[in-house]
Structure 1
């Protein structure tokens, strides 16, 4: 069970999540932490820790292990079907590591190594390696192209790391990489000025309603009811067991009576976002969900006004430029959001700039930035981990409710 953790997505060629790499704050260089029984009990009692299923959902977890842990203290509770063992140290001069890796392979685990210079094909450990990760920022593309064939011949899968732009994604896929780690998928593919299509006007109307101080239930019901897909998804969201465990909601008015105006506004906004980005990788929506819940929890902790749910909406809409392949300024000009929400998304509000810096620190495992923003917001940094963990669990739950109705992004050619 873990309390202080970050996760970074690894995507396949369709931009669907293949796995999450887990980075631990209390492990050396992000590696698997080794706690004493006393510390483990303390964490369990004070910080509501997460299990791997809570963190990664149904996806594979890549976990870095130090050589010492692999050789003498490898945890026996991990599931080889859902965990990839990543070597945190250079394997070239570690006495006993080869034998330990052979044992791990016999247990059924896959092994991954970081190989920024693509040299491991010359090392005796290569026959045990299933996945090689290559940092694109550390090696020239000509060298990658030269060395890739020997990995393909050895049936080793390749992950390109530090893939931060759409061009890098396209280039690394052309080179033969199988998976891609980085936030390229959350960047616009082309910044072009264009109007939202007429088919999205219902969604635009809903976004306006969820950000108003007042809530016109009749108007929202009319918008939703004239689109069968919207009606179905709204009820599916609201009946998600993570949100509503006891009552079967049968209509928007029923939901309003049961859940209250603020919660219904959040789900109207969520519904709108999923329909605006229905041709984009689901992971963008997932990141938006986690940000929305995290900002919502932060807003409550800071005593901000809850209706409309400004924090939730700012987090939810923080990746609109990537969803719509436009500059954020152009997107916001087309949406009827309040000036307060627009200013926050555009970085004009100190409060929400701190939220944004904080969530990016969690996404990137930038722990010193977490400490910095904790001081700015006057919230204990460990409490921030608790809030972020809650957001991850909530985001996973909502994602599971929408994933079967969300189209996969097409394979790029």
Structure 2
């Protein structure tokens, strides 16, 4: 049970999420924290805490453990089918740690090692390793090129860490890496000035309606009825248990009566964004979902106006540049959002600038920024963590519903 945690995605060669690396604020260097029964009980009672399944959803978890924890024994609750044991230090100089690694392997766990020097295949730990992580900002590409064959021959999988751009991703993929850690996918592939295609205009219209202070049911019905796929997805989405656990919804009017105006605005914004880009990783949509819910919860906590749902919309649309490979200014010139939302997306609103700062800090486990922003927003750190945890759980649930209705994205160079 954890309250203070962050995660960073690790994507495969098709840019689908393979796993998340979990980073714990209470652990040394982000490692799994030492078990404290009393503290665990306090977290369970007072905070919105997460279990590993809540954090990673259906994906695997990379978790760094201290040598002490490994030698004394892993927590019995960990599942070897979903948890990958990560070692920051080479265990070869510690016989107790080597024995612990052998025991871990016998339990069925995979072992990942951070190794910027790309060890020799003669190394004592080599036969136990399943995955090697290489920080590509600290390792020469020529050295990587020379060293990779011995890992590939041994069927050891390779993770490129700190992949910062699409060009880095392509280079590492061509070298032979299997997985890629970093937020390269949340950066525009290239900034180009172009108009949104005519096929997306229904979505653009819906995005505009979601930010309107008034609610024009007939107008929204007309937009959705023009697109049979949107009509289908609307009913599929809205009847998903993550969103609606009680009643079978049969129409937008029925949904409005059941959910209310503000929730419908959030929903049509989400539906629009999920359909807007056909060739981007689903994790980019997932990040947008988590930000949307987090900004929404922050807005409610800060007593901001909820109609239109500014916090939700600004969080949801905060990654439009990466989704559309355009500057935010060019995008907003084509989408009929209200001025308040446009200003926030262009960084002209201090309130939402603070929300974005703390969201990025959670995404990268920059704990000092979280502490600073909790003071600036007047929200206790523990509550701030709790709000973000709720956003992760909500985002995981909605992501699962989205994944079921969208085809697998294809990787493009």
TM-score (norm 1): 0.98
Aligned counterpart, 1:378: 378
Partners of 2:411 and 2:220 lie apart in 1 by 36
User: In structure 1, what is the equivalent of residue 312 of structure 2?
Assistant: 312
Q: What residue number does 1:58 align with?
A: 58
Match status 1:178 vs 2:178: yes
Q: Deviations over 1:110-145 (max 9, x none)?
A: 000100121253420110000000001111111110
The residue that corresponds to 2:85 in the other structure is 85
Question: What is the DSSP-based 3-state SS (H/G/I as helix, E as strand, rest coil) of the residue aligned with 2:21?
Answer: strand
Show the counterpart of 1:358: 358
Q: Write the mapping of 1:121-132 to structure 2, written as runs, cut at 5 A.
A: 121-132=121-132
- The separation in 2 between residues aligned to 1:397 and 1:155, in whole angstroms, is 34
Partner of 2:96: 96
Q: 2: distance between equivalents of 1:411 and 1:307? A: 38
Contact 2:48 2:387 in 1 (8 A): no
Distance 2:240 2:382 in 1: 29
1:390/1:347 CA distance change after superposition, 3 Å? same
Structure-to-structure mapping, 1:147-226, within 5 angstroms: 147-226=147-226
The secondary structure found in structure 2 opposite 1:112 is strand
Q: Residues 120 and 318 (structure 1 numbering): CA distance in 2 closer, same or farther, change over 3 Å? A: farther
Please state if 1:276 is matched with 2:276. yes
8 Å contact from structure 2 (residues 159, 179) kept in 1: yes
Trace 1:327-338 onto structure 2 (pairs within 5 A): 327-338=327-338
How far did residue 236 of structure 1 move? 1.8
Pair 1:228-2:228 in alignment: yes
In structure 1, C-alpha distance between the alignment counterparts of 2:301 and 2:373, rounded to whole Å:
14
Greater mean deviation of Cα atoms: 229-238 or 391-400: 229-238
CA distance in 1, matches of 2:93, 2:44: 37
Q: Deviations over 1:18-65 (max 9, x none)?
A: 001100111111101123211111111111211111111100011111
Deviations, residues 136-191 of structure 1 (Å, cap 9, x unaligned) = 11111111101111111111000000001000000000100000000011111111
Partner deviation per Cα, 1:79-105 (whole Å, 9 max, x = no partner):
100110101333232231111111111
* 1:237 positional shift: 1.8
Deviation by residue 1:312-368 (Cα, 9 ceiling, x = unmatched): 000000000110111111111111111111111111111111000000000000000
Give the TM-score taking structure 2 as reference length: 0.98
| Unmatched runs of 5 consecutive residues or more in structure 2 | none
Instruction: Indicate the SS of the match to 1:386.
Output: helix
1:109 maps to what in 2? 109
Counterpart CA distance in 2 for 1:256 and 1:157 is 49
Matched residue SS, 1:147? helix
Compare 302-311 and 322-331 and name the one that shifted more.
322-331
Give the Cα–Cα distance (whole angstroms) in 2 for the partners of residues 89 and 2 of structure 1: 24
Q: For residues 362-413 of structure 1, what are the alpha-carbon distances to aligned partners after superposition, in whole Å with 9 as ceiling and x for unaligned?
A: 0000000100000110000110110000000100111111102222221346
Q: Secondary structure at the match of 2:112?
A: strand
Report the secondary structure of 1:203's partner residue. helix
Runs ≥4 residues deviating over 4 A: none
Unaligned runs of 5+ in 1: none
SS of the aligned residue for 2:291 comes to helix
Distance in 2 (CA, whole Å) between partners of 1:363 and 1:99 is 34
Aligned: 1:392 with 2:392: yes
Q: What residue number does 1:347 align with?
A: 347
Task: Quote the Cα distance in structure 2 between the aligned partners of 1:94 and 1:362.
Answer: 34
Give the match's secondary structure for 1:96: helix
Other-structure match for 1:240: 240
Mean Cα deviation higher: 239-248 or 264-273: 239-248
Relative to structure 1, the CA distance from residue 120 to residue 250 in structure 2 (aligned partners, 3 Å threshold; closer, same or farther) is farther
> Could you tell me which residue of structure 2 aligns to residue 294 of structure 1?
294
1:233 and 1:402 in contact (8 A); partners too: no
Structure 2 distance, partners of 1:340, 1:122, is: 61
